[in-house]
Structure 1
């Protein structure tokens, strides 16, 4: 990616008020927006239904993005996994998987299936209402359970920004 070109990021996250985790997901999305603004990246939200129905603009955005951020706590994880897997098989290694850790029954089987192929950032709200990485010590190890160490967890915004800066560095 040439230095003059803005990094493109596509995010798939369900923000519809349909579950108990909607507030947390909204905070996570705000953190994604902040991280993208900080590094001056272009962020596009692609509704999953548009991607799933094969809408041309959604497919083009998703498959041409420098980075995709996919929230697997949507309840439609299998189809999301397919699209992320296709990107990965095409050599598009910059895929960030996030999940709201209150929805572990939805996300656990897919975390096991994907192993350590993707950056994985499970998130939750801390006692102050900030969106934080639920288990920062785990790093990329997607197939292990979340462990709360009691230490102050990094803000999701900072963790995403760090990953995006790594991508920028890799692409120079």
Structure 2
């Protein structure tokens, strides 16, 4: 049992390392962030100061080990845009994220249980098959498509909600 737990833990750590490394590579492969973050007419000495401040001027392997070391210490860095700790930016959005997730979960549970009861009460009938088809369709629909569908219905058609924000 202990070996099983150790193997699962090792797989989780390996997966996390692969994901973190992939994110690092993707962010670095997109090019020098100074060209995105600073205006086009920024003097070269300002660009050099910016690169030195954020460690972008160092070799890529050194940036990677600095990045990994910081993550292992719980230091998630500072935002490029407003110079606040990244962890603070994430944590200030957790309550709204939890609220949205709980409402979505409750709504899904209510709809799912209702469809399940309707299907169970009408076994082997058209209602049962239609209910199951709706459930499979809803389960297999991509989230982004469902979100766009809800925006179209509640914002553009019914005008109950703003389309953004």
Structure of higher CA gyration radius: 2
Higher relative contact order (CA closer than 8 Å, sequence separation 6+): 1
TM bracket (short chain) = under 0.3
**Going by fraction, where is helix more abundant, 1 or 2?**
2
TM-score (norm 2): 0.25
**Going by fraction, where is strand more abundant, 1 or 2?**
1
